[in-house]
Amino acid sequence: MEEIEVKFLNIDPDDLEIKLRGMGATKVGEFFYRWSTFDYPDWRLDKAASWLRLRDEGDKIMLTFKQRLGADAHDGTTNDTGMEEVEVAVSSFEGTVDLLHRLGFVEKHYAEKRRARYERDGVEYDIDTLPEVKPYLEIEAPSWEQIDKAIAALQLDPADKKIFSANQIYAQQGIIVADYTRLAFDGLQKRS
């Protein structure tokens, strides 16, 4: 299934929250996410611009296959054409890690994120903060038309929208995620 979302980088969270409330968006909550990304030992998923992610969202644990569509660059200089996503709920983070290891997957890295979520008319507005990265806005909607309406309602410049992964946001900061085993708020840990 295609994931329909865009990102706007380097936002001011306080100003954005005022805009979101002003347009009638409801704050759903603030969340702390932790996740691990997995691949085969030969990193064949990475070579195909895809990955397997296990994410603890606090109230649910999701196992997701993601693949960047139209991935021309990995450094965040160009947008992808979209994102493919297949997602299932699982009952245990640690149990699923064990299962994936037993199936032959290796953990590429562990990461964390803080998220403030707003919703309006079926559109999700996430103010995300990653370690070592300025906050950014992620807008996810059921259609590209709703994305365009959300951008207009927030008075954002459509030319500034990004269609790419968090790894590409890191790459724009000179941080190559593949070089790290841990991207957490208590510090980044380089791969040895």
CATH of the domain at 104: 2.40.320.10
More confident call, 154 vs 2: 154
Q: Is the pLDDT of residue 92 over 70?
A: yes
Evaluate whether residue 49 is within a structural domain: yes
**22 in any annotated domain:** yes
What range defines the domain where residue 150 resides?
Answer: 2-187
Q: SS3 letters for 40-83? A: CCCCHHHHCCEEEEEEECCCCEEEEEEEEECCCCCCCCCCCCEE
* Region 108-121 average pLDDT: 96
Residue 175 is assigned to a structural domain of this protein = yes
For 39-49, give one letter per residue: b (16+ CB within 10 A) or e.
beeeeebbeeb
pLDDT tens by residue, 9-36? 999 999 999 999 999 999 999 999 999 9
Q: What was the pLDDT predicted at 74?
A: 67
% of the chain with per-residue pLDDT over 90:
83
Would 142 be classed as within a structural domain? yes
Q: Is residue 192 part of a domain?
A: no
Helix (H, G, I), strand (E, B) or coil at 145: helix
